[in-house]
Amino acid sequence: MPADHDHARYFTVDGNRVAAKALPGGLYVVATPIGNLGDITLRALATLAGADLIACEDTRVSSVLTRHYGITAKLTAYHEHNAATVRPKLLAALAAGKAVALISDAGTPLVSDPGYRLVVEARAAGHKVVPIPGASAVLAALVAAGLPTDAFFFAGFLPPKTVARAKRLKELVAVPATLVFFESPQRVAAALADMRDALGDREAVVARELTKAFEETRSGTLASLAAEFAGKPTPKGEIVVVVAPPREEAVSAEDADRLLVSLLKEKGVSEAASEAAELTGLPRRELYRRALALKDGTEKSDAGE
């Protein structure tokens, strides 16, 4: 696949033309906007303008972005239907020392698109792979959802068939993290109902058209959201569903006492109460009181022997 060395290496922002340097050979994985064209970094623009060619899912979609920013690098279609044919050509371009930029239709490449195999083979061949971070629908939905963000699991698209979808959801029931799904508008009502049945009636958020003019986030339980979307016409646009992690079961008094007894064998009352509070989430003051009673009971028992 020949690269175009003669294209003008520049990009335009607010009418100002900015020169871009030719890039060293390698594969550049570039995040692009998920909707709003303003959500692209200067580094991403310089990378796209400086690349020898840009591999994208759909040249018609990506040309909207490149035209908007005055980028003239060659666009080459690379998607799941032509990957087996095009990937060797992209690898040949890398072997020839070319700079190849990989983008998706929207967001960060390799998240539910065919770029993964190209990165694997590029790395195996010893080519440099450079991430150019930016917009991500997963993170945009997560930070707007108001659900725990300390741990999350991206599950991608669920299977389209009901039985397969239910099976996959059962595999995710015990994952101790917020779950993030991509879903199609046509299946979102059915998917929410299946999530309710498999995961329980957890808190959830449906985010639609993120960063675009009709951006919308709907909050509720899975049951209420399933009912809401079942009674509406098919929504438009890309959809991300964020589901709260499983509820932690309350620690029983007996379990807390067993833990304290174990800790008191090696630690003082204060230290045992502090560690038990960390492990269980129970109030330290209550655990300290329990630890004193348990230690006193143990000492009396020992004295009576």
pLDDT reading at 113 higher than 80: no
Look up the domain containing 162 and give its range: 138-243
- Residue at 204 is within a domain: yes
Q: What is the model's pLDDT at position 305?
A: 43
Q: What is the pLDDT of residues 10-51, one digit of tens each?
A: 999 999 999 999 999 999 999 999 999 999 999 999 999 999
- Residue at 280 is within a domain: yes
pLDDT band at 56 (very low <50, low <70, confident <90, very high): very high
Least confident of 116-120, 135-139, 216-220, 247-251: 247-251
Task: Looking at the structure, tell me whether residues 182 and 294 fall in a common domain.
Answer: no
pLDDT reading at 87 higher than 70: yes
pLDDT reading at 228 higher than 60: yes
Q: What is the model's pLDDT at position 126?
A: 98
* 222 token code pair: 């899975």
Q: What is the model's pLDDT at position 110?
A: 87
CA atoms within 13 A on the CB side of 145: 29
Q: What is the model's pLDDT at position 251?
A: 77
Task: Looking at the structure, tell me whether residues 208 and 169 fall in a common domain.
Answer: yes
- CATH number for the domain harbouring residue 182: 3.30.950.10
Task: Looking at the structure, tell me whether residues 163 and 76 fall in a common domain.
Answer: no
Report the interhelical angle of 253-264 vs 269-280 (nearest 10°).
Answer: 140
| Mean of the per-residue pLDDT values of the chain | 92
pLDDT reading at 80 higher than 70: yes
Q: What is the pLDDT of residues 167-187, one digit of tens each?
A: 999 999 999 999 999 999 999
Least confident of 92-101, 105-114, 156-165, 182-191: 105-114
Burial of 171 (0-12, 13-18, 19+ CB in 10 A): exposed
Q: How many CB atoms lie within 10 A of CB 149?
A: 13
pLDDT reading at 299 higher than 80: no
Task: Looking at the structure, tell me whether residues 20 and 119 fall in a common domain.
Answer: yes
pLDDT reading at 200 higher than 70: yes
Cβ atoms of 179 and 152 within 8 Å: the answer is yes
- Residue at 1 is within a domain: no
Entry pTM: 0.78
Which residue, 112, 135, 158, sits at the end of a domain?
Answer: 135
CA distance between the termini of the chain: 87
Q: Summarize the confidence of residues 207-227 as an average pLDDT.
A: 96
Contacts of 98 (CB under 8 A, 6+ apart): 3, 25, 52, 53
Task: Looking at the structure, tell me whether residues 236 and 286 fall in a common domain.
Answer: no
* pLDDT above 90: percentage of residues in the chain: 82
Which residue, 224, 243, 262, sits at the end of a domain?
Answer: 243
* pLDDT above 70: percentage of residues in the chain: 94
Task: Looking at the structure, tell me whether residues 111 and 23 fall in a common domain.
Answer: yes
- Give the integer Cα–Cα distance in Å for 163 and 87: 34
Q: What is the model's pLDDT at position 2?
A: 42
- Give the integer Cα–Cα distance in Å for 101 and 220: 40
pLDDT band at 4 (very low <50, low <70, confident <90, very high): very low
E strands, 146-302, in order: 152-157, 178-183, 203-208, 216-221, 239-243
- Give the integer Cα–Cα distance in Å for 280 and 260: 11
Number of folded domains that form the chain: 3
pLDDT band at 280 (very low <50, low <70, confident <90, very high): confident
Cβ atoms of 158 and 125 within 8 Å: the answer is no
Task: Looking at the structure, tell me whether residues 124 and 24 fall in a common domain.
Answer: yes
Q: What is the model's pLDDT at position 249?
A: 67
Task: Looking at the structure, tell me whether residues 18 and 78 fall in a common domain.
Answer: yes
E strands, 20-140, in order: 26-30, 53-56, 74-77, 99-102, 129-132
Contacts of 190 (CB under 8 A, 6+ apart): 162, 165
